A and B are shown apart, each in its own frame.
Chain A
Amino acid sequence: MASRDGASPGFAQRAAPILAGLLTLAALALLWQAACRAGYINKFVAPAPLDIARSFPHLFAEENLAGRFFQTFAETFLSAGLAVAVGIPLGWLLHHKKLAGLAFESWVGGLAAAPLVLAYPLFLVLFGRNTATIVAMSFLSGLPAMVLKTKEGLDGTKRVLVNVGLSFGLKPATLFRKILLPAAMPSIANGVRLALIFALINVVGVEFLINFGGLGELIDGLAQRWELPSMFGAILFVILTSVFFFWATGRVEKWFHPHG
């Protein structure tokens, strides 16, 4: 009714595409299962969806999936936390010292686009095959986004707000705490989200590449042992975890936006 009036679409209209998407996924899984059962797909190359689903109890009981999940996320939060701790002061410096901003903002942008993860053998040489390598690389991948987003937020603060603060005789530290930081918070929250996402991608990737740590190492280990249903299960778990993380950080970020 509402949609006929040109207002917001009704529940059925909103639910139909979501349902179509879910049904398509289910149909594809059924088709894959049927093809495996009929022998069109070799189960030693691509295991059936039911075998993948059945591998989850084994993954939790034997492969310590929950523990690896917490390890990966601890490394992610540590790396992103370091990126936030270093990135906000650097972003403020690039905002506060105009010359430094002009000279180095494009460098930070270049660092954000650089394929840093390819340098993991270099980090292995410097830090060894341990958590320090994973955290150092993931910290570096999240840092540029944090610096650039902090600077963007501080640069975007309305001049009139700063002038009001100055007219009240606020000291630079108070001006930053009371005016600049709150005004830049939506952009900083976006930077924190990007830092977390880049850190997660790098943590899982580096764990996989150096065969050490949490979820990434699990996938590599299962591949080397040719335990395909469990390997596909672990990959599915990482994808679902990434999707949930992406969604959850998006929801948290929205809280910091003045208009939701």
Chain B
Amino acid sequence: MAERSSSKVGARARARRGNFAPVSLLRVAAILLLWALWEGAARSGWFYEGALPSSFAIASSGFHLLAQPDFYVNLGVTLFEIAAAVAIGSVLGISVGLALGASRFAGKAFEPYVQYLAPAPKIIFLPVFMVLLGVDSSSKIAIGALSCFFPMALSVAAGVRQIDPVLLRVGRSFRLTPSQTIAKIYLPALTAPIATGLRLGLGVAIIGTLLSELQMSNSGLGFLIMQDYGRFDIAEMYAVLAMVFLLAALANGLIARGLRIKGR
């Protein structure tokens, strides 16, 4: 029996290895094709001069940028704003999600509003937050937190409804206080929904915070992008954009990895 199952695993691994080479080749070919198309377009003269710089110019600008101390100051500002936005949005989202999920009445009364507001474009609230909080980091953090709030609240509310009622009845029979019930039953059972909410929330918080920086700011990576756009330093603008995409992918990958480790 054990031999048969190990031979099956071996066959699957061989099949995967068999597919791996053509898949990798296809991916490498696609990357090379895209790169060749980019370089061709950059040198074709079809676009305004400088609007589509060559990949070598972008890489050179990127390395030059990494050598500037100012870049790290702006990176620090953006990272701080994103971290603050995720912390505030998550705490509010978890609290509201717990309230909506734990009470069927509250869920039916208020969850439709949260669900319907969730896909609304959050950036339109920026003028409101600028009026209320000013044009400094606070309004950027507020937009990021608002963006992060909705996926977290909805994920936690759905997670609470999936908690085994037996656990809650056991808690009641032990006469747990509401705060003990949250700490001992709800939060441990909600690790996966919170992690999912965090993964979705982080992505939209990054977008919300950076879009706010792009709209009006005097520091942060969004500010750098708009500064490059204003100076028509397009190669550096592409480099900063590439770093922002890399940052988002890295954060997303780290959380996904954390989720996989937790799931084992």
Q: Could you tell me which A residues sit within 8 Å of B by CB distance?
A: 16-18, 20-21, 24-25, 45-46, 99-100, 102-104, 107, 110, 113-115, 117-122, 124-126, 197, 200-202, 204-205, 208-209, 216, 219-220, 222-223, 228, 231-232, 235, 238-239, 242-243, 246-247
The residue that A205 contacts in the complex, of B107, B117, B121, with Cβ under 8 A, is B121
B110 (CB) vs chain A CBs: closest residue: A21
Q: Could you tell me which B residues sit within 8 Å of A by CB distance?
A: 19, 22-23, 26-27, 30, 47-48, 51-52, 105-110, 112-113, 116-117, 119-121, 123-128, 130-132, 203, 206-207, 210-211, 214-215, 222, 225-226, 228-229, 234, 237-238, 241, 244-245, 248-249, 252
**Is B229 a contact partner of A121 (Cβ separation < 8 A)?**
yes
Count: A-B pairs, CB below 8 Å:
134
24 contacting pairs across A/B (C-beta < 8 A): A17-B109, A24-B110, A114-B245, A114-B248, A114-B249, A115-B244, A115-B248, A118-B210, A118-B222, A118-B241, A121-B226, A122-B238, A125-B51, A125-B234, A200-B121, A201-B121, A205-B123, A208-B124, A209-B123, A209-B214, A238-B121, A243-B120, A246-B116, A246-B119
In the complex, chain B residues whose CB is within 8 Å of the CB of A122: 237-238, 241
**Is B214 a contact partner of A103 (Cβ separation < 8 A)?**
no
CB-based closest 7 A-B pairs:
A223-B127, A17-B108, A21-B109, A17-B109, A243-B116, A121-B229, A242-B120
**Is A118 a contact partner of B108 (Cβ separation < 8 A)?**
no
**Is A201 a contact partner of B125 (Cβ separation < 8 A)?**
no
B52 (CB) vs chain A CBs: closest residue: A126
The residue that A216 contacts in the complex, of B108, B112, B124, B130, with Cβ under 8 A, is B124
A222 to chain B, nearest CB (A): 8
**Is A231 a contact partner of B127 (Cβ separation < 8 A)?**
yes
In the complex, chain B residues whose CB is within 8 Å of the CB of A107: 27
